[in-house]
Amino acid sequence: MVPLSWYLIVAAILFCVGVFGVLARRNAVAILMGIELMLNAVNVNLVAFWRYLEPDKMVGQAFAAFVFIVAAAETAVGLALIISVYRNRETVDVENVDLLKW
Amino acid sequence: MTTLQVMFFFFSLITVAGGLYTVIARNLFHAALGLIVSLAGVAALYALLEASFLAAAQVAIYIGAIAILIIFAVMLTRGVTGKNPVKDWWTYTITAIVCLLLLVVLLTTLFRFDWPQTAQAAVPADSIARLGKSLVDPSLYVLPFEVASVLLVAALIGSAYIARDKK
Amino acid sequence: MNVINDPFTWAGNLIAQWLSGFMPPVGVDVTMMVLRAGVLGVFALVMFMVMTWIERKGIARIQDRIGPNVAGPFGLLQPIADGVKALTKEDITPTNADRMVYNTAPILSAAAAMLVFAVIPFGPGLIGADINIGIFYILAVGGLGIIAILMAGWSSNNKYALLGAFRVVAQLVSYEVPHVLSIAAVVMLAGSMSMITIVEKQPVWFILVLPVSAIIVLLSGMAEIGRSPFDLLDAESEIIAGHHIEYSGMKFALFFLGEYVHAYAVSCMVAVLFLGGWSGPNIFGLTVPYLWFFIKSILVFNVMVWARGTLPRLRIDHLMAFNWKFLVPLSLANLVVVAAADRLAQAVGFAVGTWPWALVMLAFNLAMIAVALAMVGATGRRARRATESRAMPEAETHEEEAHGVDAERAPVAVGAH
C-alpha cells in the first residue's frame, strides 16, 4: 500500500517546481506553465486526501473538478492577455513590460 | 515493494521529471511538451488513487484543451530573435535556493502529522453517479457548479474579446 | 463455453493453462495481459489493412472504375504492396527540423488511435478493460491525437505545415463540442459510461431511440478524423497535405495508419453506442457476438466511405459555420428534448428499453429533425432572397416606389410587374 504521505510529498515537490518556473522564467507563457504545474500539485493533494480520509463523500472529487474548471478559465484569459500584449509590444518578456504607462 | 508502489514511483518520477523539464527547457515548445508529460503523469496518479473520472477529465481538459492553448500561444508569440532570453545565473541560484527552502518548509509541516498508511474505506462502486448527483443537489454543490458555468461563459467572452484582431 | 461461441476466451484459457505449467501465477497474469494487449494492437493493424482495401475498392466503384486489382485476387494484397512501398521510400528529414519531436509525432498519432481499442467490447466478455468511464476514455484519448498534429506541424520547420496544423487543430477542437454533447445524450439514457453497460441497455438499438445523436456523432466523428468531406485542410489539392508535408516513407505511412485506425475506431464506437454492439440473432443456433460486432462496424465504415466518395469538400468557413451555427445548437436542443421525452415516456408508464418507449423517443427526435430542417430551410430562403434583391437593385427600388410594398413581400418573379 502506498502511504498518504508519499502522495503529499510528490505534490509538494511538484508545487515547488512550479514556483521555480514562475519565479525564474522571463517569458510570460512559461510563467503560465509554472502556474499550471502548481494547480496540478494542489489537485493531487486534494484527490489524495479524498481517497485516504473520506472516500464515500464526493467533496474531494468535486473540489478537484472545480479547480480544473477555474484553471481552464484562467489559462484562457491569461493567454488572451499575453497575445494582446504581444500585439502591442512585440514582446512577451516580462522584464520589458513592467511599467503601467510608457 | 508491491506493484502498486513500483507504479507509484514510476508515475511520480515521470510527473516530476516532466515538470523539471518544463521549467528548465530553453525552447518553449519543448517546455510545453514537458508540461504535457507532467500532466499525463498526474492523470496516472489519479488513476492510481481510483479517481477514474478525474483521470479521464485531466487528460481531456488539460492535455486536450489547455495544453493545446498553451502551444498555440507559444507559436503565436515567438520572439523575432528566436532564442528566449533567460535571467542571469545569480537570479537562478537565488530562486532555486528559495524554492528548496519552500520545499523544506512544506515537508516539515507535512511530517508533523500522523497520516494514515492505508485508505480508511473503499471507494463506493457508484462514485461517478454520486459525483454527478452531488453537483446538482441543492444541499450540496449546485451553487458552485452554476457559478462555475457563469465563470466559463465570462472567460469565453472575455478572452475572445481581448484577443480579437482590432483592425 | 465451446469454441464457436467464444474462441478467444477458449484460446486464452488454453494458453493460460499451458503457461501455468512452468510459471508462477504472477508471471502467468502479466504474460496474459501483455498477450491480450498485443492481440488488440495486431487486430487494429490488420483492420487498417482491411479498411484501406475497402476504401479504395469502394471509392473506385462509386467513381465507376475497378480499383486496385493487380496485387493478388481482387487487389487483396494491395495493402501489403503499399506497406512495402512505404518502407522502401527515401526517408527525408528537413534541415533545422526538431529531430525528436519530428520523429515522435507520427508515433503518437498512430498510438493515440490504437489506444481506443482497449475499451471496445467485441462480445459479452471480450473487452480489453471494462473501466467505468469507457466512453469518456475514448474522448480523452482523442486529445492526444491533436497534440500529435501540432507536433508534426511545428517540427517540420515549414510555415505551410504550421498553418495547416493550426487550421486542422481548430477544426478538430471545434467538432469535439457536438461530439461530446451527443455522446452525453447516450450516456444519459444508458445511465453509465461503461461500454458494456451501454450495450446491455440496448434491447432497442439507440439508433432508433436517438437518431439525431447518431447522425451528429457520425458527422463529428468524421470531422474529428479529418476525412472527407471535412478534409479541406490536409487534402492534396488544397494545402498540399497540410501538417504532414515534410513526411515521407514510413513516417507518412504511420500518419496514414493513424487516420484509418482512428476511422475504424470511430466506426466501432458508433456500432457500440448506437447499433447495439454485439447483439444479433443466432446463426444456425450458434451465438457469434463478435461476428455481429464486426459486421456492424464494417457497415458504419462503409457509410463513411460512401460519404467520402459522394460528397464534395466543405470550405473552411462553411465547415466552421456548420459546426457552430447548426451542430452545437442542435446537440444542445437534442440533450434537452431527449431528457424531456424520456421523463415523459416514463411518466406515461412505458418502461425504459421497451418498444413503446422507443417509439415515443423516436417521435420526439423526428420532430426535432423536422424543426431543424425547417429552420435551416427558412434561413436559406431568406439568404437567397437577400442575394436576389441585392443582385437586382433597380427593379426592386422601382417596385417599392410604385407600390410601397416592403421588401419582405417583394415577389420573386420580378417580371410580373
The residue ranges of every structural domain in chain C are 7-379
Do A and C make contact via 3 or more CB pairs under 8 A? The reply is no
Instruction: Return the DSSP state at C325.
Output: I
- Nearest residue in B to A52, CA atom: B119
Chain C hits for B56, CB-CB cut-off 8 Å, are 133, 136-137, 139-140
| Pick from C202, C320, C359, C374: nearest CA to C271 | C202
Please name every residue paired with A27 in a beta bridge, in sequence order, or none if there are none: A93
Residue C417's pLDDT is what? 40
Residue C347's pLDDT is what? 85
- Nearest residue in C to B74, CA atom: C154
- Cβ neighbours, 10 Å, residue C13: 13
Q: Which of C133, C139, C150 sits opposite B68 (nearest CB)?
A: C150
The per-residue pLDDT for range B116-141, each reduced to its tens digit, is: 888 777 878 888 888 888 888 888 88
Q: Which of B5, B91, B159 sits opposite A80 (nearest CB)?
A: B159
Placement of cell 502551444 in the chain? B71
3-class secondary structure, A97: coil
Greater model confidence, C131 or B35: B35
Count of CB pairs separated by less than 8 Å, A with B = 246
How near does any CA of chain B get to the CA of A17, in Å? 6
Residue C394's pLDDT is what? 53
Identify the structural domains of chain A with CATH numbers, from first to last.
4-89 (1.10.287.3510)
pTM of this prediction?
0.88
- Nearest residue in C to B39, CA atom: C144
Residue B165's pLDDT is what? 78
Residue C5's pLDDT is what? 67
The per-residue pLDDT for range C23-64, each reduced to its tens digit, is: 777 778 888 888 888 988 999 989 999 999 999 899 899 988
The residue of A32, A47, A63 whose CB has the most chain B CBs within 10 angstroms, and thus the best one to mutate to test that interface, is A47
What is the percentage of chain C residues whose pLDDT exceeds 90? 23
Mean pLDDT, all residues of chain C: 83
Placement of cell 418498444 in the chain? C355
Q: Taking a contact as any Cβ pair under 8 Å apart, which residues of chain A between 58 and 97 contact chain B?
A: 58-59, 61-62, 64-66, 68-77, 79-84, 86-87, 90-93, 95
Placement of cell 498518504 in the chain? A4
**Does residue C334 register a pLDDT over 70?**
yes
- Please, which residues have CB within 8 angstroms of residue C327's CB and are 6 or more apart in sequence? C175, C177, C178, C216, C219, C220
How many Å separate Cα C284 from the centre of its chain? 33
Separation of first and last alpha carbons in chain C: 81
The per-residue pLDDT for range C210-234, each reduced to its tens digit, is: 999 999 999 999 988 877 667 766 5
Report residue C261's pLDDT band, with 50, 70 and 90 as the boundaries. very high
In the numeric block, which cell numbers belong to residue A80?
488572451
Q: Taking a contact as any Cβ pair under 8 Å apart, which residues of chain B between 130 and 159 contact chain A?
A: 130-131, 134-135, 140-141, 144, 148, 151-152, 154-156, 158-159
- Cβ neighbours, 10 Å, residue B112: 7
Q: Which of A24, A68, A79 sits opposite B70 (nearest CB)?
A: A79
Chain C hits for B67, CB-CB cut-off 8 Å, are 147
Residue C400's pLDDT is what? 45
Chain A hits for B85, CB-CB cut-off 8 Å, are 26, 93, 95
- Helix intervals (H) in chain B: 3-24, 28-48, 52-57, 67-76, 89-111, 127-136, 142-162
